[in-house]
């Protein structure tokens, strides 16, 4: 049985892995940020020592895009230095690393889906810190899978799907931006892909793009959430040309999934995945 350490286990991805952990023939060991601090190499070494892990899944990250514009040091400490520490410790213990990165490593100026080999050019501090983390991993560890994901959502934590549902419940009128185009990605789908890597144990190392199939705007995403949760509330959601933010965001961040689909065929459309998750939400909360 494969043995896997999960770092940053209290985030939405870590909690989704926990949802799967009881049913999979994989032994997971979960550590939250308070239990293992990725910015402290000794903390990592203690966690890895004598544990014989086969894989490490790094879900730990500084993900507040707005706050990263002013808390630059913190963002880089966690997303860049933390990733470097993990890579070095994985290398010492001969553990394969699955690291979660982001579409925000791109500037969004392209008008066709981004491939894994396209030039990176992040336009905000969060993206810059995540790119530095990618580069640190590539420098210090051969046995790595860097998975770039976009517009992640789940049943856990704070995310766009849960925010929209909460607003719908309160009959709020929403103005949602049409300015950015990307692909909503369910943590459930992402965990299934991660498990495919671990259980297959034969995918080539490197960078992979991962999202659902298709693309939309945040406005289109919000409408699809409403359609699945309470269809009559779609009229509460209005398009807005611009949404003021501190951090610049890529206008276009759709992924080319060609490389991923060479090894993994099970990709839903983003609408299918949103529908499945909202249905699950309704079952658990209504």
Query: What are the residue numbers of the active site?
Result: 126
**Strands ordered across the beta sheet of 206-210:** 26-31, 2-7, 55-58, 96-102, 144-149, 206-210
User: What span, in angstroms and rounded, lies between the C-alpha atoms of 133 and 87?
Assistant: 10
Is 187:139 a contact under the CB 8 Å cutoff? no
Nearest to 161 by CA among 223, 106, 69: 223
Which residues have CB under 8 Å from 180's CB, separation 6+?
108, 217, 218, 249, 250, 251, 252, 253
Query: Strand 2-7 relative to strand 26-31: parallel, antiparallel, unpaired?
Result: parallel
In three-state form (DSSP H/G/I as H, E/B as E, the rest C), the secondary structure along 78-137 is HHHHHHHHHHHHHHHHCCEEEEEEEHHHCCCCCCCCECCCCCCCCCCHHHHHHHHHHHHH
Q: What is the dihedral of CA 216, 222, 228, 231, to 10 degrees?
A: -120
Distance CA 230, CA 15 (A): 26
Contact 90, 141 (CB under 8 A): yes
DSSP assignment letter at 213 = B
Q: Are 30 and 9 in contact (CB under 8 A)?
A: yes
Q: What are phi and psi of 197, to 5 degrees?
A: -65, -50
């Amino acid at each position: 049985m494969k043995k896997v350490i999960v770092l940053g286990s209290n985030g939405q991805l870590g909690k989704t892995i926990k949802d799967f952990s009881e049913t999979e023939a994989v032994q997971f060991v979960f550590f939250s940020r308070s239990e293992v601090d990725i910015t402290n190499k000794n903390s990592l070494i203690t966690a890895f020592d004598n544990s014989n892990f086969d894989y490490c899944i790094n879900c730990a990250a500084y993900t507040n895009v707005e706050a990263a514009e002013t808390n630059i040091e913190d963002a880089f400490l966690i997303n860049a230095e933390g990733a470097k520490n993990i890579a070095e410790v994985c290398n010492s213990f001969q553990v394969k690393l699955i690291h979660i990165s982001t579409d925000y490593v791109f500037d969004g100026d392209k008008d066709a889906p981004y491939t894994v080999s396209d030039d990176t050019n992040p336009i905000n501090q969060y993206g810059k810190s995540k790119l530095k983390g990618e580069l640190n991993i590539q420098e210090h560890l051969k046995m790595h899978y860097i998975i770039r994901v976009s517009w992640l959502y789940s049943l856990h934590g704070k995310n766009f799907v849960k925010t929209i549902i909460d607003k719908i419940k309160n009959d709020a009128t929403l103005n949602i931006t049409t300015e950015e185009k990307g692909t909503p990605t369910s943590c459930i789908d992402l965990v299934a892909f991660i498990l495919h890597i671990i259980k297959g144990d034969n995918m080539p190392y490197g960078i992979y793009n991962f999202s659902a199939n298709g693309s939309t705007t945040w406005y289109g995403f919000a409408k699809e959430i409403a359609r699945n949760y309470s269809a009559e509330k779609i009229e509460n959601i209005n398009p807005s040309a611009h949404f003021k933010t501190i951090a610049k965001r890529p206008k276009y961040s759709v992924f080319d999934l060609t490389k991923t689909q060479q090894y993994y065929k099970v990709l839903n459309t983003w609408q299918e995945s949103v529908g499945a998750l909202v249905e699950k939400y309704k079952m658990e909360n209504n």
